[in-house]
Chain A
Amino acid sequence: MEVKEEQSTKRKKQKQGRFWTWVAASVLFRLILIYFPKNLNLSSRPEVSTPLTSLRRLAEGYWLKQSSMSPYAGSMYHGSPLLLSLLGPLTVKRIEGQPSHLLCSLVFVVADILNAMVIRATGQTLQVAYRQSLKSLDLDTISESMEVLSSGDIAALVYLWNPFTIVACVGLSTSPIENLAIILALYGACKRMVPLAAFGWVMATHLSLYPMILIIPIILLLGYGPDTPRKLLLMRRCGKVEDNSSSDSCQQQEKVINQSDLPKVFAWGPPMLFLLWAIMWSVYVLLLCGISVKQYGGLWEMFERMYGFILTVQDLSPNIGVLWYFFAEVFDFFRNFFLIVFHMNILFMIFPLAIRLKHRPCFLAFVYITISSMLKSYPSVGDSALYFGLLGWFVNELSEMQFSFCLFSVYVGVSLLSPVMHNLWIWRGTGNANFYFATAITYACLQMVLVVESVSAMLNHDRKLKKLTNAKLQNGKS
């Protein structure tokens, strides 16, 4: 027995060591890329720097602010004033003999590492909860197989080594910081640290608006706890079974559920606390913003330039989304209608998904993030990097996902073809806009398939678990 335990701890240690070497390697890789001359021109790639995340625009905003003008005076800067006062000085400061963007790059590398760590911690929490719930359902056989794959480590490494993350980090876009806020919110909600969750959610909403819809998964997380197979459904089924079978099996089942330390019904306390904290944090953030833009246009200008810019899709420069070309081509009198349609598309799916996946709030958050990164007005690869990282959490549940190889290869294909098409169109002038738009459409389809397939795989997984418990109960009965 002791030998076995020793072995397992040894193996764990070995695994830990391997994990940390990979993390160190990823940091090293980033530093090497940073030291490349001219930063590999990544910072001007349309896939990396959108009008919202471009550091160059932030530097322009900072310059305007330094010359006592509103940072929102032109239509260059559309980010947060807080980010401006955090990152702005770093864009100007230089260290002799080092690349000019070194300090900012280091900030983004640190943000990336933090992201990976928080993803890992959240993944571990999720795994513990998952294993517990499996145990409570007497399905230890599945958890045995899971021993090999620690979803937290996998998610962290997927996040760190994803080329999209690396490109977004080295390409000087502010998306690592936006991602950090989102991940912190989820982490706080998983660990039941209500103030942290509220802070993350408020910051994420402030920085990029779309994470606002994450309020539903966060409240569900705080109310129900981390992802579990559908307990309520099991109980109800148990109640139904009670009528025509012996009651002891059901009692046994109930006992098991009571044993688990997870709350079986929605706890109203933490969500209320969360709302309270969220209000406090948002007042605080608005106050800080108000102070920093007070002598210029005030808060209203900030809202107009940040959120108005996001919602009305004013900048039509190409990116990996589809909206830029759509709004460059659509007739002017339909513009408002389609703006509403595209934004409603994000909102419409919120409630159906929340109803169906309320027992898996983290997965729900992943789906929301994927949907918004597909339909948002200025998507960048930084958003994709985030949802790929989160996908790592559900590596066990989604192991039976369909088309995963197909998805992977098309992702590779699109990310190779898209720069080629962009080059043909913009730099060489031999292609036209449709070439690039075709890759953008493919990319949108790809994300769509990913969302649909992962949701269906998750639902199937729950079904499978239910079937297994049913079978077990049946066996127990007979």
Chain B
Amino acid sequence: MALPLLLLRPILLLSFLLFAPIINFKAALGSVTEEDFSEELLLRPLPDRKVLAHFHFRSRAPHTSSNGRHHHLFPKAISQLVQKFHVKEMELSFTQGRWNYDRWGGFDPISSNNAKPPGVELWAVFDVPLEHVDDSWKNLTHALSGLFCASVNFLESSTTYSAPEWGYRPAPGSLRYGTLPREAVCTENLTPWLKLLPCRDKAGLSALMDRPSIYKGFYHSQRLRLTSSEFESEEGGSGIVLQQTLTVVVQPDSERNVMSYSHETKLQPSWSLTSIFGRMVTGRCVLAKSSTVYLQLDRGLVGQLDYLQKENELSNADKSVYEGFSSNPGFELSVKPDRVLKELNGFEKKTPSVVYEFYIEKYSESRPFDLGLTWKLPVVWSCQKAPLHASRFLMGSGNERGAIAISLRSTEVSDELLHTDMSEGRCKLEVKVFQVVPWYIKVYFHTVRVYVNEQPQEVSDVVEKMRVSPSVDKVSPGVMEMVLKFPCGMKSAAITLEFDKGFLHIDEYPPDANQGFDIPAAIICFPNFHTSMQFFTDKSVDRSSILSKFQENNAVLAYTEVLLVPLTTPDFSMPYNVITITCTVCALYFGSLLNVLRKRVGEEERSAKSKATKETGRLRQLLSRVSAKLRGRPFELPQPPSNSSSFISSKLILFILVAGIAVFWQVYFG
């Protein structure tokens, strides 16, 4: 009986797809009644001869109250996770490599939302009473660890996660944030992530994900973002929305172009999907509601092309730059785009960004989609950068103490942006800093120093708001949230914090203790600057999940570098020696003091009379012998030299001789 049912299922799903327009209509109204799935890929040439590929998969499931607990498209594991741990919002990212904010952009939605620090980052907002948030978090980390074959469960320990109040995201109390900077990310994490997609990597855009070409890139970040309104009281919320993104920065092979151009050094490398991924798109995932590929041109690139166009206009009177893609002076596309979208409300002075849209529905096995971009002229442009370039570094040497410094340099963008504001009078540049420091970096928060244009400033002048939760040894990390307001004409700023390095128990060191310990990336946020790209004026944006994501009004956000702090190590090989030597000293103290106290007057007199040196005397004799040696006087026995004492001394000499030989042997032959 089971087999026919299984066969029936895809047919049913297909029949659902026939009603896709109805679903779309309902989705446009803001409530989802059916599960849907969409796949999209955004490609963008980067100024430094690289290409950004951004896969975006969105699955939506309606509210359980309307749809029950059974799912057709939506991954069951995720919905169970949401049900069980009452997750309101969650984001998990696995990243390798560092996003280059200078070259790959720092002011667009992708860099703000999808550029993540290396390793694993997880944050979650729970819809449970505040006292149960920690328990939910711990359970969630274990569940995710199993789900993604990663050591996310290390985030369970209270030393690794923190509860930011407003520095990261405004969700006081119920938000938990944790990172594992040293987690190695590889295909074993990608495979379970792909399993959540209805077509896995067998069909559709995800079929492009050729493992070697993804992992040989400069940066890849695999992300899972979950938003649920399951637990909100009113009916008809959006249910659960799962967004899975994979952001890859790859360098296309430029060897093919070398032959055809003489000045290939200046020319951007031409690329196509096959040259990047080694595969083509052979059709869409049949379960997907929409399957689209976008090619986005930066504002800077468009501006540059405009300029080229104007130059060319003299010789070649062609009107439209973007629509007539084949006649574009800068590059040539191998596939004709289905639609060209222009950004509506860019910055006044900037040229708008342009997006070419390709619908994959039209392509099939017999007619695969292989988008190629061939540069015709050398184009040099730069990406739009964040208002301030943030970097973080360590100061000081040695393993006892040091200082963390966050340096902020103004970019040309901020100059332009701020000059417009300058006319409005008092202008301040607001920066939010969120930093988590593990407990073995013992930060002295009273040593916060702020420098503006390399001049020390009064902290209270610059720091608008500050929340600190100091670290507790082996219990919780230190958290610092700050809002800083800098004057607009500022060229550079720096924040320094001094710290002492902690000393750990030998069991607390990782296997490679001498490599050092990581301080998670700090988050620098510019709440007054938003990354919003409007491509539509009407509701039709809902058709494209990437473009609707672009439209969201998020603040510009940047991560700093992860810092590597070397800590001193004890000697791992000799706990036994330390224990025995220390205990010996203790025993020696106890025994000899007790011995001194025990001696009675009468007893001593008696012993002096009999002149017998026994047990207690022997030690004293030895000590006095040593002292006599030190004083440089010949040792005189306190008694008349009897046979026994000479016997003892000869025995002692023999003993010392043997011990000396043993030590010698140990040193030279051991």
Determine if A463 and B604 form an interchain contact, defined as CB atoms under 8 angstroms apart: yes
Q: A414 → chain B, closest Cβ, in Å? A: 14
Given known pairs A322-B582, A329-B578, A405-B630, the reply for A451 and B507 (CB within 8 Å) is no
Decide if A356 is an interface residue (CB 8 Å cutoff): yes
Across the interface, do B507 and A332 meet the contact criterion of CB distance under 8 Å? yes
Give residues 560-595 of B contacting A (CB, 8 Å). Answer: 568-571, 574-575, 578-579, 581-582, 585-586, 588-590, 592-594
Are A459 and B470 within 8 A (Cβ)? Answer: no
- Cα of A408 to Cα of B579 in the assembled complex, Å: 28
Known: A74-B472, A448-B588, A452-B593. A324 touches B505 (CB 8 A): no
Interface assignment of A406: CB less than 8 Å from any CB of chain B = yes
A348 contacts B by Cβ under 8 Å: yes
A-chain residues with CB within 8 Å of residue B472 when the two chains form the complex? 73-75
Q: Which residues of A sit under 8 angstroms from B401, Cβ to Cβ?
A: 44
Q: Does A251 contact B (CB under 8 A)?
A: no
| Chain A positions 200 through 226: 1 when the CB is less than 8 Å from some CB of chain B, otherwise 0 | 000000000000000000000000000
Say yes or no for B381: interface residue by CB 8 A criterion.
Answer: no
- Known pairs A356-B597, A406-B630, A425-B568; A326 contacts B469 (CB<8 A): no
CB neighbours (8 Å) of A73 from chain B are: 469-470, 472
The contact string, 1 if C-beta is below 8 Å from chain B, for chain A 59-78, is 11011100101000111100
Nearest CB on B from A143, distance (A): 23
Instruction: Decide if B624 is an interface residue (CB 8 Å cutoff).
Output: yes
A269 proximal to B (CB < 8 A): no
Considering the chains assembled together, what is the distance between the CA atoms of A342 and B466 in angstroms?
43
The answer on a CB contact under 8 Å between B400 and A44 is yes
Chain A window 427-444, contacts with chain B (Cβ cutoff 8 Å), 1 for yes, 0 for no: 101001110010001001
B537 within 8 A of A: no
With an 8 A cutoff between CB atoms, is B637 at the interface?
Answer: no
Residues of chain B within 8 A of A342, CB atoms compared: 586
User: In the bound complex, how far is the Cα of B507 from the Cα of A441, in angstroms?
Assistant: 23
Q: Does B397 contact A (CB under 8 A)?
A: yes
Q: How far is the CB of B247 from chain A (nearest CB, A)?
A: 37
Chain A residue nearest in CB terms to B630: A406
A1 neighbours in B (Cβ, 8 Å): none
Residue A473 interfacial (CB < 8 Å)? no
B2 within 8 A of A: no
Knowing A356-B597, A402-B624 are in contact, say whether A345-B590 is a contact too (CB < 8 A). Answer: yes
Evaluate contact between B581 and A441: CB separation under 8 angstroms: yes
The answer to whether B579 and A329 have CB atoms under 8 Å apart is: yes
Q: Is residue B422 within 8 Å, beta carbon to beta carbon, of the partner chain?
A: no
Q: What's the nearest-Cβ distance from chain A to residue B221, in Å? A: 33
Interface-forming stretch among A2-10, A171-179, A309-317?
Answer: A309-317
A74 to B473 alpha-carbon distance, docked (Å): 8
How far does the alpha carbon of A456 sit from the alpha carbon of B599 in the complex, in Å?
9
The answer to whether A74 touches B585 (Cβ under 8 A) is no
Give A422's nearest chain B residue, CB to CB.
B400
- B502 is an interface residue with CB less than 8 A from chain A: yes
Which of B397, B466, B469, B597 lies at the interface centre, i.e. has the most chain A CB atoms within 10 A of its CB? B597
Is there contact, CB below 8 Å, between A448 and B470? no
Report the count of interface residues on B (CB-CB < 8 A).
Answer: 54
Q: Is A29 an interface residue (CB 8 A)?
A: no
Known: A434-B574, A441-B585. A329 touches B442 (CB 8 A): no
B397 touches A427 (CB 8 A): yes
Say whether A328 contacts B589, CB under 8 Å: no
Determine which of A74, A405, A448, A459 lies in contact with B589 in the assembled complex, contact meaning CB atoms within 8 Å: A448
Q: A352-B594, A448-B588 are in contact. Are A330 and B579 (CB under 8 A)?
A: yes
> Is B601 touching A328 in the complex (CB atoms < 8 A)?
no
Look across to chain A and name the residue whose beta carbon is closest to the beta carbon of B593: A452
Of B446, B500, B582, B590, the residue contacting A326 (CB under 8 A) is B582
A164 within 8 A of B: no
Residues of A within 8 A of B593 (CB): 349, 352-353, 448, 451-452, 455
With both chains docked as a complex, state the minimum distance between the C-beta of B478 and any C-beta of chain A, in angstroms: 7
Knowing A60-B445, A329-B579, A426-B399, the reply to whether A74 touches B471 (Cβ < 8 A) is yes
Which single residue of chain A is at the shortest CB-CB distance from B401? A44
A427 touches B400 (CB 8 A): yes
Q: Is the pair B400, A349 in contact by a Cβ cutoff of 8 Å?
A: no
Q: Is the CB of A448 within 8 A of B592?
A: yes
User: B578 to A325, Cβ gap below 8 A?
Assistant: yes
What's the nearest-Cβ distance from chain B to residue A297, in Å? Answer: 12
Residues of B within 8 A of A46 (CB): 400
Q: Find out whether the CB atom of B631 lies under 8 angstroms from the CB atom of A405.
A: yes
Q: Which chain A residues in 299-321 approach chain B with CB under 8 Å? A: 314-318
Q: Does B398 sit within 8 A of A, measured CB to CB?
A: yes
Bound form: Cα–Cα A67–B467 in Å = 9
- The reply to whether the CB of B444 lies closer than 8 angstroms to some CB of chain A is yes
B599 to nearest A CB, angstroms? 7
Task: Write the nearest CB–CB distance from B183 to chain A, whole angstroms.
Answer: 26
Chain B residue numbers with a CB within 8 Å of A330 are 575, 578-579
Q: How far is the CA of A328 from the CA of B589 in the complex (A)?
A: 22
Residue of A62, A76, A356, A444 near B470 (CB, 8 A) is A76
> Nearest chain-B residue to A70 (Cβ)?
B470
Q: Are A455 and B590 within 8 A (Cβ)?
A: no
Q: Using Cβ atoms and an 8 Å threshold, which residues of chain A touch B599?
A: 459
Interface of chain A, main secondary structure: helix
Whether B589 lies near A76 (C-beta < 8 A) is: no
Whether, in the assembled complex, A466 has its beta carbon less than 8 Å from a beta carbon of chain B, the answer is yes
Hey, which chain A residues are within 8 Å of B474, CB to CB? 314
B623 interface residue (CB < 8 Å to A):
yes
Given A330-B579, A345-B586, A433 contacting B442 (CB threshold 8 A): no
The distance from the CB of B242 to the nearest CB of chain A, in whole angstroms, is 38
Given contacts A73-B470, A329-B506, contact A437 B578 (CB under 8 A): yes
Q: Return the chain B residue nearest A73 by Cβ.
A: B470
Partner of A402, one of B439, B507, B597, B623: B623
A177-207 vs B, CB cutoff 8 Å, 1 = contact: the mask equals 0000000000000000000000000000000
Is B468's beta carbon under 8 Å from chain A?
Answer: yes
**Inter-chain contact B470/A64, CB cutoff 8 Å:** yes
CB pair A60 B585 closer than 8 Å: no
| Contact between A433 and B570, CB atoms less than 8 A apart | yes
Known: A328-B503, A345-B586. A432 touches B473 (CB 8 A): no
Instruction: Report the separation of the CA atoms of residues A459 and B601 in the bound assembly, to the nearest whole angstrom.
Output: 9
Q: Given known contacts A427-B399, A441-B581, A463-B601, is B594 in contact with A433 (CB within 8 Å)?
A: no
In the bound assembly, the distance between CA atoms of A250 and B458 in angstroms comes to: 81
Interface residues of B in 292-330 (CB under 8 A from A): none
**What are the residues of chain B within 8 A of A375 when measuring CB–CB?**
586
The reply to whether B588 and A445 contact each other, CB–CB distance below 8 Å, is yes
- Asked whether any CB of chain B lies closer than 8 Å to the CB of A403, the reply is yes
Instruction: With A427-B397, A441-B581 as known contacts, state yes or no: A331 contacts B575, CB within 8 Å.
Output: yes
**Nearest neighbor of A463 in chain B, beta-carbon distance:** B601
Interface pair B570/A452, CB less than 8 Å apart = no
Closest to B599 in A: A459
Contacts of B45-67 to chain A: CB distance below 8 A: none
Question: In this complex, what residue of B is CB-closest to A466?
Answer: B601
Bound together, the chains give a CA A356 to CA B397 distance in angstroms of 52
Asked if A349 and B590 make an inter-chain contact with CB atoms under 8 angstroms apart, the answer reads yes
Q: How long is the Cα–Cα vector from A76 to B478 in the complex, in angstroms?
A: 11
**Is B504 an interface position by the 8 A CB rule?**
yes
Q: How far is the CA of A434 from the CA of B594 in the complex (A)?
A: 30
Whether, in the assembled complex, A327 has its beta carbon less than 8 Å from a beta carbon of chain B, the answer is yes
Residues in chain B within 8 A of chain A (CB atoms): 397-401, 439, 442, 444-446, 466, 468-474, 478, 500, 502-507, 568-571, 574-575, 578-579, 581-582, 585-586, 588-590, 592-594, 596-597, 599, 601, 604, 623-624, 627, 630-631
Starting from the known contacts A69-B468, A316-B505, A426-B568, 10 additional A-B residue pairs (CB-CB under 8 Å) come to A74-B442, A74-B478, A76-B442, A315-B473, A328-B570, A329-B570, A329-B575, A345-B589, A402-B624, A433-B570
What are 15 A-B contacts defined by CB distance under 8 Å? Answer: A317-B500, A325-B570, A329-B579, A330-B579, A332-B507, A402-B623, A402-B627, A432-B571, A434-B571, A444-B585, A444-B589, A448-B585, A448-B589, A452-B596, A459-B599
Closest 8 CB pairs of A and B: A74-B470, A63-B446, A427-B398, A329-B575, A448-B589, A75-B473, A316-B503, A456-B596
